[in-house]
Structure 1
């Protein structure tokens, strides 16, 4: 397939000069991310009540979600009551996390919490082939208290456990979750990028409506789960 929109062709020396210029900005961004992470490590924290959530084997205390670890990352999965297919963004985002054992070396765990009833949530997890551990906050104010209420959007929260006491240390939502994803990082390396209309791209670059290239929940189920049945 021949495209009419192509980067200019230059000699190797010119190409290297452009790369060197870009590398200056890339290194500056890396240092800024290091500084942001350092500030995050200095954040204060908020003590939380002793919430009870629903797990695969029944009610479970928030402190037990840590499974003996000290640190916990929670992805709050959007949930629409009565819908067969849940948020495609959440479904696709969490589908990439299939090997999380490396967190054990850092005394941490990463789980999904959703507002959906646990039986429905676990059925959906199987349908789309999700590999993470799921819990439900349908019968608890936990989700509402940490920025993920019923009918609300997705979010990420981080917690620190001191014995049986759990503290909230960090929160983000929206595009703040992109830093946890390898999908956008890989796509942003491509010459044409995400190909979404909001992006700053050269004239003639392929662009589509935002989200139009994202996999739907049905697509995720067909690839990894039990399919559309």
Structure 2
């Protein structure tokens, strides 16, 4: 969808909807139609943001020869592209200082595990952590992951450059491209505590977690005192 394309007003699309449910009141339908108009505008805004992201100029070159341990042995950063032109790299909060991994990261990755093979039809997907690879593999088996590819940033060079200069155990979402043999940084999630709105988690937009997408559609919402656990 072009940003200059003339779109039908959301209110007109709402009129075309025609959905009704048993025993709903007129008050409910009016409020629901008003919400539907906002949902249509949100969808359009998400697409505008995605277009703007795709149109970013070339990012910085990746000039260091980063090395990782994979589940099958040592690999280079270029190897992690697995023949694709784009690499999505998630930095997992499971450093050697942790007894157990971050429950929130684990919840996210558990959802991604089921989508990993679909994602990799178009781009490469890598999960990077600072713990040794044997430790990552052990937890992968415990959690029952099958689709995700895990990598250990043994030296911490990649983590210090693209996640935390102080090598903190924090999450990160980075996208890299490889065009004509040149690897570049394309985009990174940059929404953190400094950009958070009052009373809200410092989440990105769109949110990467299907969990929150589901809960956002319920009257209970996300809540303020609940987070995922490693086991129940």
How does 1:58-73 map onto structure 2 within 5 Å?
58-73=73-88
Residue 16 of structure 1 corresponds to which residue in structure 2?
A: 29
Match of 2:60 among 46, 49, 52: 46
Tell me which stretches of 4 or more aligned residues in structure 1 moved more than 6 Å: none
Q: 1:95: Cα distance to partner?
A: 0.7
Q: Distance in 2 between matches of 1:181 and 1:187?
A: 10
Q: Distance in 1 between matches of 2:45 and 2:28?
A: 26
Q: Distance in 2 between matches of 1:57 and 1:139?
A: 18
Residue 211 of structure 2 corresponds to which residue in structure 1?
A: 183
Give the TM-score normalised by structure 2.
0.76
Q: Relative to structure 2, which stretch is displaced further, 14-23 or 141-150?
A: 141-150
Residue 151 of structure 2 corresponds to which residue in structure 1?
A: 135
Number of equivalences: 194
Determine helix, strand or coil for the equivalent of 1:111: strand
Q: Distance in 2 between matches of 1:178 and 1:28?
A: 14
How does 1:164-175 map onto structure 2 within 5 Å?
164-172=181-189, 174=192, 175=203
Residue 34 of structure 1 corresponds to which residue in structure 2?
A: 47
Q: Distance in 1 between matches of 2:117 and 2:172?
A: 22
Question: Please, which runs of 5 or more residues in structure 1 have no aligned partner?
Answer: 1-9, 197-208, 220-229
Question: Please, which runs of 5 or more residues in structure 2 have no aligned partner?
Answer: 1-22, 193-202
Change (3 A) 1:165 1:171: same
Determine helix, strand or coil for the equivalent of 2:188: strand
Q: Distance in 2 between matches of 1:218 and 1:85?
A: 11
1:144 correspondence with 2:160: yes
Any conservation in 2 of the 1:66–1:72 contact (CA below 8 Å)? Answer: yes
Any conservation in 1 of the 2:94–2:100 contact (CA below 8 Å)? Answer: no
Any conservation in 2 of the 1:62–1:166 contact (CA below 8 Å)? Answer: no
Q: 1:178: Cα distance to partner?
A: 5.8
Change (3 A) 1:133 1:177: farther
Residue 121 of structure 1 corresponds to which residue in structure 2?
A: 136
1:192 correspondence with 2:205: no
Any conservation in 1 of the 2:67–2:74 contact (CA below 8 Å)? Answer: yes
Q: 1:177: Cα distance to partner?
A: 6.9
Q: 1:148: Cα distance to partner?
A: 4.1
Match of 1:162 among 179, 187, 191: 179
Q: Distance in 1 between matches of 2:38 and 2:222?
A: 20
| Greater RCO (Cα-Cα under 8 Å, separation 6 or more) | 1
Q: Distance in 2 between matches of 1:120 and 1:17?
A: 54
Q: Distance in 2 between matches of 1:35 and 1:162?
A: 25
Give the TM-score normalised by structure 1.
0.77
Match of 2:105 among 90, 97, 100: 90
How does 1:207-218 map onto structure 2 within 5 Å?
209=225, 213-218=226-231
Q: Distance in 2 between matches of 1:37 and 1:100?
A: 21
